Chains A and B, each alone.
Chain A
Amino acid sequence: GQQLNQSPQSMFIQEGEDVSMNCTSSSIFNTWLWYKQDPGEGPVLLIALYKAGELTSNGRLTAQFGITRKDSFLNISASIPSDVGIYFCAGVIIQGAQKLVFGQGTRLTINP
């Protein structure tokens, strides 16, 4: 089946540092999504990417949809303590139904 490979699996950084994580796939997706999950909560959508090559920002977050439609990255600039959590990439495999295929997640820990 379709799988997303997300890296790194975990990151330990100092507050104020920039963060970068990425996802790759052997399959093409029409839409890439980035979610954040806090402990004990469900994932919350951060950024949605719809066009190959698209670069989208949401505050300190920036994400890009790869030209080949098989990869995406998420950058977080000037990290703050509330950025702690698990970040997931997800690809949309059926546009109408929006069934999602998730990466394994990147666990972000920030040292104050």
Chain B
Amino acid sequence: GAGVSQSPSNKVTEKGKDVELRCDPISGHTALYWYRQSLGQGLEFLIYFQGNSAPDKSGLPSDRFSAERTGGSVSTLTIQRTQQEDSAVYLCASSYRRGGLQETQYFGPGTRLLVL
């Protein structure tokens, strides 16, 4: 498919375990974003990658959260020592930069994380 894909779609883990969430952006999109959506809430910005520039990590809630983007394409969001409050839907989006501005962000279906 041509859209943003994320895996796994659902993840249940025990408190204290590490988890890795994967995002495959749309081919050719230079920007990639991670957001967190808690139950009944809007989306909260976590981190932004643009090309080879240093990522904007200003939204990461703690040092237990980190993300990488390898080869300018696939990204992995890692949460170490998960806590119950980390339970949420983690959404990835990608967009194309044109004329100095980012185009529309296209979202993946999200990964639903439940920390027991």
Residues of B within 8 A of A (CB): 4, 31, 33, 35, 40-45, 48, 50, 56, 91, 93, 95, 100-102, 104-105, 107-110
Q: Is the CB of B43 within 8 A of A102?
A: yes
Number of cross-chain contacts by CB at 8 Å: 60
A98–B105 contact, CB under 8 A?
A: yes
Q: Which residue of B lies closest to A40 (CB)?
A: B109
In the complex, are the beta carbons of A95 and B105 less than 8 A apart?
no
In Å, the complex CA distance between A48 and B103 comes to 11
Using A42-B93, A97-B50, A99-B56 as known contacts, say yes or no to A88 and B102 having CB atoms under 8 A apart: no
How many positions in chain A have a CB within 8 Å of any CB in the partner chain? Answer: 22
- Which residues of the other chain, B, contact A104 by a CB distance below 8 angstroms? 40-42
**B100 pairs with A88, CB closer than 8 A:** no
A9 to B91 CA separation, bound complex (whole angstroms): 21
B4 and A42 contact, CB distance less than 8 A: yes
Q: Please tell me if the beta carbons of A6 and B102 are within 8 angstroms of each other in the complex.
A: no
Query: A43-67 CB contact bits vs B (8 Å, 1 = yes)?
Result: 1110010000000000000000000
Question: Could you tell me the distance in whole angstroms from the C-beta of B60 to the nearest C-beta in chain A?
Answer: 13
